[in-house]
């Protein structure tokens, strides 16, 4: 009898334990809201358009300041965003499920991304949008007057960058491809090797090499390609006429046109990510605050109260 009672007690305890585990799982799921990453796993970042600035917060929500005549700053309702991009008059967000959202100017139509799936990275500039898919192929929508959206045959791509008139793709072997406007040889990247990151400016292209040095080709009237002496660089960004580099020590360098002060970054410290807009430069600090210099006629540099953490 004692053995039977112990057996029944064991089965009863087992059933209760399973029930409690199921209740805990259901309760946890119910409290999650929209599917996506846990709030703590969204990585803050900044993006800069020609006349606006976008910030991704650590909770997957987005903030934006600057010119908003086309609704490019209407991002208040966005959630579960993992990346942001900014073009001339539009803003793009990559969601945690691999889909993409966009607001703003849609004449070309640069915001027609509703059908995109399995996207792992986005880039926006000018009047078009580029998406890198999980199979390392690339999609693009928007203005294609110079063939900047002709990326349908690209394969093995690990990162994309977009400028006003051309698109750049970094391949898994460290080489680079480019399509689009090439008046200033901004697409002459066929001999590049050992590249780990790319950026595209108005008429130039920038490549970060694995050893922390930088290469650049294209329009150089304002010295935006004068990056030969840069070392210890971990990230690069490019505006229409200037180039920005983030050093491993959290400081920043910049070359190119500086008539609006967009290259005045010498005093920046503790920077973890950079973005180059039309005529302004934005930096994300380690504490989640944001700094910006350059043209501020539309409030695109009014980021002093941001805390993206």
Domain residue spans of the chain: 1-31, 32-294
pLDDT of residue 132: 98
pLDDT digits (tens, 9 = 90+) for 220-255: 999 999 999 999 999 999 999 999 999 999 999 999
Q: Give Cβ neighbours of residue 215 (< 8 Å, ≥ 6 apart).
A: 192, 195, 206, 207, 209, 227
Scan for tokens 């006429």, then name that residue. Answer: 241
Determine the average pLDDT of the residues in 156-185.
Answer: 98
What mean pLDDT value characterizes the chain? Answer: 90
pLDDT tens digits along 181-217: 999 999 999 999 999 999 999 999 999 999 999 999 9
Whole-model pTM?
Answer: 0.88
Quick: pLDDT tens for 100-138.
999 999 999 999 999 999 999 999 999 999 999 999 999
Distance CA 108, CA 103 (A): 13
What is the predicted pLDDT for the residue at 41? 75
Radius of gyration over every alpha carbon of the chain, rounded to an integer in angstroms: 23
> Rounded distance, CA 165 to CA 153, Å?
18
Does the structure show a pLDDT above 70 at 71?
A: yes
Nearest residue to 172 (alpha-carbon basis) of 218, 132, 204, 212: 132
Distance from C-alpha of 301 to C-alpha of 213, rounded to nearest angstrom: 29
Q: At residue 19, does pLDDT exceed 60?
A: no
The pLDDT value given to residue 37: 62
Closest CA to 207 of 154, 241, 242, 243: 243
> Which pLDDT tens digit goes with each residue over 30-51?
333 444 566 557 999 999 999 9
**Residue pair 242/256 in contact by the 8 Å Cβ criterion:** yes
Asked, as a colleague might, if the bond just before 45 is cis with ω within 30 of 0, I would say: no
CATH dotted code for 32-294: 2.130.10.30
Dist. CA 58–CA 71, nearest whole Å: 23
Distances (CA, A) of 300 to 58, 281, 294, 297: 21, 10, 9, 7
219, containing H or E segment = none
Question: 9-13, 58-62, 202-206, 283-287: which range is least confident on average?
Answer: 9-13
pLDDT at 36 (0 to 100): 59
pLDDT at 236: 98
pLDDT band at 178 (very low <50, low <70, confident <90, very high): very high
C-alpha 68/C-alpha 108 separation (Å) is 18
Q: What is the pLDDT of residue 29?
A: 36
pLDDT at 10 over 80: no
Q: How far apart are the first and last CA of the chain?
A: 62
Residue 301 scores a pLDDT above 80: yes
């Amino acid at each position: 009898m004692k053995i039977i009672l112990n057996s029944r007690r064991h089965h009863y305890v087992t059933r209760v334990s399973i029930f409690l585990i199921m209740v805990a799982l259901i309760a946890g799921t119910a409290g999650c809201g929209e599917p996506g990453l846990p709030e703590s796993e969204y990585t803050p970042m900044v993006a800069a358009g020609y006349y606006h600035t976008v910030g991704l917060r650590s909770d997957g929500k987005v903030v934006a300041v600057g010119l908003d005549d086309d609704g490019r700053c209407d991002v208040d309702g966005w959630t579960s965003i993992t990346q942001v991009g900014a073009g001339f008059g539009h803003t793009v967000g990559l969601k945690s499920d691999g889909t993409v959202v966009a607001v703003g100017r849609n004449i070309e139509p640069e915001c027609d991304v509703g059908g995109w799936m399995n996207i792992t990275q986005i880039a926006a500039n000018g009047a078009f949008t580029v998406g890198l898919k999980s199979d390392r192929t690339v999609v693009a929508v928007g203005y294609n007057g110079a063939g900047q959206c002709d990326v349908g045959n690209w394969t093995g791509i690990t990162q994309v960058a977009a400028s006003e008139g051309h698109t750049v793709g970094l391949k898994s072997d460290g080489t680079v491809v480019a399509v689009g406007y090439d008046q200033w040889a901004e697409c002459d990247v066929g001999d590049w090797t050992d590249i780990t990151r790319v950026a595209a400016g108005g008429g130039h292209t920038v490549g970060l090499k694995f050893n922390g040095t930088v290469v650049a080709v294209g329009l150089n009237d304002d010295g935006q390609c004068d990056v030969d002496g840069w070392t210890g660089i971990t990230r690069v960004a490019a505006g229409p006429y200037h180039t920005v580099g983030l050093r491993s020590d959290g400081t920043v360098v910049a070359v190119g046109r500086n008539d609006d002060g967009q290259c005045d970054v010498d005093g920046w410290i503790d920077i973890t990510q950079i973005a180059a807009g039309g005529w302004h430069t934005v930096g994300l600090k380690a504490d989640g605050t944001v700094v910006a210099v350059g043209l501020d006629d539309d409030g695109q540099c009014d980021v002093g109260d941001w805390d993206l953490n």
